[in-house]
Structure 1
Amino acid sequence: MRFDFFDIQLLQHIVTTGSLTKGAERSAISLQAASERIKKLEQYFDTPLFIRHSTGVELTSAGHALAEHARLLLVQKQQLEQDMQRFRQQVPESLTLWCNSSAQSEYLPTLLPQYLMHHPEINIDLHEAESSDIVAALTKGIAKLGLVSSFFDTQHLQTQEFASDPLVLICPAAHALQHSEQLNLLDALNYGFIGLMPHHSLQQSIETQAKLLGFNIQYRLRLPNFSAIAEVVDQGVGIAIMPARAAQRLQADYHFHTVQLRGAWANRKLLLATQDFNQLSLNYQQFAEFLLQHRPLSE
């Protein structure tokens, strides 16, 4: 064809305004360019489309017929573009989830692949941080969504319980505590501990509980993660405290005895937290809903 949708749209602008000059202005082209395009249309159909007057233009019978077809073509063009929009590749949106080490290592690896498989338009950025830092970031609006320990004050945030995340004590198979099924922290404070690094919020909370009982924890060694701690406990060097889910996972590789800890401080929860769930963007709301629907509360 010797004309395109630009010519069709130009024709509509001229019909709407009743003027070749105003139609050219709406199409953002010069009067001369508009006149040339209309002339080519008339040559293509071999018939006049407009009657020129000093005050404007008037459609001929052929012009009326073409204008009606032009209107339908433009409507169909718009419908076509809208229908094809859903097939266009979209730039994936990245959602950032702040989480503490327990959530990052013990819960999210099994959940996030499920979400990503059903949402190819979404990427997830995990930002691991201490629970205290996550609470601060949520409060300041730096973070939108986070998984934090219930040990910290979140009363100024909106929270939903995500998982039961109790702490347990692990000890070597030949340790004096090996026959214990439950104990208070006080019963363990005379023994040497294998702990996490000093900046770790979990270790800080354990130290806080010890100080409330009048003790300073005796550390034989500090290590960066639960796997390293389990390996050293297995070798008989000392005892340690870690999340029950981590202990359960690591018992497949290391030999140690697990003891339940009494006290509300040890029976902590993982909370999904934000300033206001209703104020989150739609994608964040859907992601939060997925996490809560798949929360391992019974574990």
Structure 2
Amino acid sequence: MRYDLDDLRLFVHVVTEGSITAGARRMHLSLPSASARVRSLEHHAGVELLVRGRRGVRPTPAGSTLARHARDVLDQTVRMESAVAGYVRPSVAPLVLLAGGSAMHRLVPQALAAFLRERPEVDVTVAERRTPQTLHLLADGGADLGIVLDGESRDSGLRTERLGDDSIVVIGQAGGVLAERATMTYREVAEHPLVGLDAQSSLQQWIEKHLGAHAPAARYRTLVGDLTTLIALVAAGVGLAVVPRRAIPPELALDVRELQDPWARRHHLLCWGTRSPSSPAALAALAEHLRAASR
């Protein structure tokens, strides 16, 4: 026996609403058309599916069984269509977003998740780059948007706007060696065992660049590849760490102290590339999600 999906959808609506009239309305059908479809279902099933009364309809045992299986069939159909749609090539080229390690930790994932749910027809290519590399690619048309640091993006000639604070702080286990301190210099921080990011990370390279040749000798208990692991080790009491304030999960109990060094105060900027995007509206939407995530 073959069933029409629209007939099954109508029957589920009728059973849910308890009324053929209401089911017809949900399917944008006339009442005579909906009634004919229901009668056709009963004819093909060879059994009465609805008990009709002055106050509406209710399913017979056979009707309840059909409605239950119809819901399963319709749910499976939606999943099938969604799975197949995942192979459809988007009609526009992917947007390209570049950002440093700090922004990639929480800001970019939060904005990207909201944007991709809202715009299923648009893909986004994301890559971690230091600010000089990001500015070069944006200027050469190799990217659409970038999140850069204010101190390294002056005189770029590119359109920018302030996105949010990205100051560097020192963190330690709650109630540990930072408990009695209000602020510290990096040189004082380096007197304690540290946990750091590996040498290839954009944040570690940025810190070492500003410390220069006069950087104090520091003992790193370990070097890790991401901020999530770094912060977890600090919370466990392995050592202190220097991280962007915005990377610290608000629910995590840590001692957080300002760094007195001038280079520790910095801001994120949103920066636009020079190429014409294939979808200006999508680019504007991505920028708005980045603004929202930075608040």
In structure 1, C-alpha distance between the alignment counterparts of 2:294 and 2:145, rounded to whole Å: 23
Match of 1:127 in 2: 127
Match of 1:291 in 2: 287
Q: Secondary structure at the match of 2:218?
A: coil
CA deviation string 1:240-298 (max 9, x = no partner): 0111121134x53xx4311122344222111222344xx53362465246524761597
In structure 1, C-alpha distance between the alignment counterparts of 2:151 and 2:224, rounded to whole Å: 22
Larger RCO: Structure 1 or Structure 2 (Cα < 8 Å, ≥ 6 residues apart)?
A: 2
Q: Secondary structure at the match of 1:161?
A: strand
Decide which moves more: 133-142 or 230-239: 133-142
> Does the 8 Å CA contact 2:138/2:273 hold for their aligned counterparts?
yes
Q: Secondary structure at the match of 1:199?
A: coil
> Does the 8 Å CA contact 2:111/2:289 hold for their aligned counterparts?
no
In structure 2, C-alpha distance between the alignment counterparts of 1:230 and 1:288, rounded to whole Å: 33
> Kindly tell me: are residues 266 and 288 of structure 1, through their superposed partners in 2, closer, same or farther at Cα, counting changes over 3 Å?
farther
1:1-299 alignment, distance < 5 Å: 91-93=90-92, 94-156=94-156, 157-211=158-212, 214-249=215-250, 251-252=251-252, 255-276=253-274, 280-281=276-277, 283-284=279-280, 286-288=282-284, 290-292=286-288, 295-296=291-292, 299=295
In structure 2, C-alpha distance between the alignment counterparts of 1:218 and 1:207, rounded to whole Å: 14
Larger radius of gyration: 1
In structure 2, C-alpha distance between the alignment counterparts of 1:296 and 1:91, rounded to whole Å: 25
Match of 1:8 in 2: none
Match of 2:77 in 1: none
> Does the 8 Å CA contact 1:162/1:297 hold for their aligned counterparts?
no
> Kindly tell me: are residues 117 and 229 of structure 1, through their superposed partners in 2, closer, same or farther at Cα, counting changes over 3 Å?
closer
Opposite residue 266 of structure 1, the aligned amino acid is A
Opposite residue 162 of structure 2, the aligned amino acid is E
CA deviation string 1:207-254 (max 9, x = no partner): 2333365523332210111121122222322110111121134x53xx
> Does the 8 Å CA contact 1:163/1:296 hold for their aligned counterparts?
no
CA deviation string 1:147-187 (max 9, x = no partner): 12234245223322222212211112353222223223233
In structure 2, C-alpha distance between the alignment counterparts of 1:288 and 1:213, rounded to whole Å: 43
> Does the 8 Å CA contact 2:112/2:289 hold for their aligned counterparts?
no
| Residue ranges of structure 2 left out of the alignment (5+ in a row) | 1-87
> Does the 8 Å CA contact 2:90/2:123 hold for their aligned counterparts?
no
In structure 2, C-alpha distance between the alignment counterparts of 1:102 and 1:246, rounded to whole Å: 7
Match of 2:63 in 1: none
- RMSD across aligned positions (CA): 2.9
In structure 2, C-alpha distance between the alignment counterparts of 1:244 and 1:149, rounded to whole Å: 14
In structure 1, C-alpha distance between the alignment counterparts of 2:220 and 2:195, rounded to whole Å: 6
In structure 2, C-alpha distance between the alignment counterparts of 1:284 and 1:212, rounded to whole Å: 45
Q: Secondary structure at the match of 1:177?
A: coil
> Kindly tell me: are residues 200 and 273 of structure 1, through their superposed partners in 2, closer, same or farther at Cα, counting changes over 3 Å?
same
Identity percentage over the alignment? 24
- Give the count of matched residue pairs: 206
> Kindly tell me: are residues 202 and 126 of structure 1, through their superposed partners in 2, closer, same or farther at Cα, counting changes over 3 Å?
same
Measure how far apart 1:204 and its partner are.
1.9
> Kindly tell me: are residues 90 and 256 of structure 1, through their superposed partners in 2, closer, same or farther at Cα, counting changes over 3 Å?
closer
> Kindly tell me: are residues 282 and 154 of structure 1, through their superposed partners in 2, closer, same or farther at Cα, counting changes over 3 Å?
farther
Opposite residue 102 of structure 2, the aligned amino acid is S
Given the two structures, how large is their TM-score scaled by the length of structure 1?
A: 0.59
Given the two structures, how large is their TM-score scaled by the length of structure 2?
A: 0.60
Q: Secondary structure at the match of 1:191?
A: coil
Opposite residue 287 of structure 2, the aligned amino acid is L
